[in-house]
Amino acid sequence: MKSSKDYVQWELENQKKLCSEYRKALKGLPEGRMFMSNRGDKQYYYDAESHDYIGRVDNKEVAGKQQRYFLEKSISIMENNIKAADKYLKNFKDYMPEAVMDSLPGAYKFSTLEGLPKIVAFADGENWGNQHYDRSMKYPEHLIHKTMKGDMVRSKSELIVADILYQRRIPYHYEEPMLLGGKEIVPDFKIAVRSENRFKYLEHCGMLGDPGYCNSLVWKMQQYMRYGYVPWKDVIFTFDNMDGSIDTMTINRIIDFFFV
């Protein structure tokens, strides 16, 4: 399972790379500060030192200075983030059950992980993710895409979501049925969220141009809400674009925010 250390390490590398790209983008952009004067609904830009008039918002030098200032501000923020991440990683200690067990005196070591308190057992969600569970087998002929974990799923989009979860070591069950008011609901993904010590559900919504699919999706959302599952708190949604394409960057960000 992905830990906060893994996430910080990923962010560190990402921001270092982005910083380097932003510094390269600074080359050729005009230097120096400017200020803006409003006259009615029009804006006029001036050099901050000489007070010489530069131009209006569509002026090339004005646009260049705005871009430079944005990039410099972004670089400053990321440089502080990089320092904070470096400090965090140097002081971070693994808190997974096995690591803590290794650090305990002999008298306090469990003979097996089964002796751990139940609340700790949840933290070892990776084992849960690999356990056998009852899966929905409706329309088995549609289970045609094999994930990295070995599950068979129904669409290429679900394949992408499942593989992102697997690569990030976020444990999940695919299409594990649940009963809500006596009615069977089949979530796309049931996910163990270690940081919150609970499960959340992820519904990936494709085929948005199909009225029948949309009606089924609305019904499913109504059942969740009727029985106390709050959208974007307990049930998270990702979507295909209307042309059937999928934005993996957005899905990664959603997974980062709700499931790490």
- Tens of pLDDT, residues 37-47: 999 999 999 99
CATH label, 124-259, candidates 3.90.550, 3.30.70, 2.60.40, 3.40.1350: 3.40.1350
Q: How far is CA 149 from the centre of its chain?
A: 19
Which of the residue ranges 87-101, 134-148, 179-193, 215-229 would you say has the lowest mean pLDDT? 87-101
| Predicted confidence (pLDDT) at residue 142 exceeds the cutoff of 60 | yes
CA-to-CA separations, 116 to 107, 109, 171, 194, in angstroms, rounded: 14, 10, 19, 16
Instruction: Say if pTM beats, i.e. exceeds, 0.75.
Output: no
Give the list of residues 6+ apart from residue 207 with CB closer than 8 angstroms, or none: 213, 240
Q: pLDDT band at residue 157, thresholds of 50, 70 and 90?
A: very high
- Specify the higher pLDDT residue, 95 or 145: 145
CA distance 219 to 196: 28
pLDDT at 6: 80
Provide CATH 3.40.1350 ranges for the chain: 124-259
- What are 135's two structure tokens? 């899966």
CA dihedral 250, 252, 257, 260 (to 10 degrees): 170
User: Among residues 56, 28, 24, 62, which one has the least CA distance to residue 42?
Assistant: 56
Give percent of the chain above pLDDT 70: 93
How high is the mean pLDDT of the chain?
Answer: 89
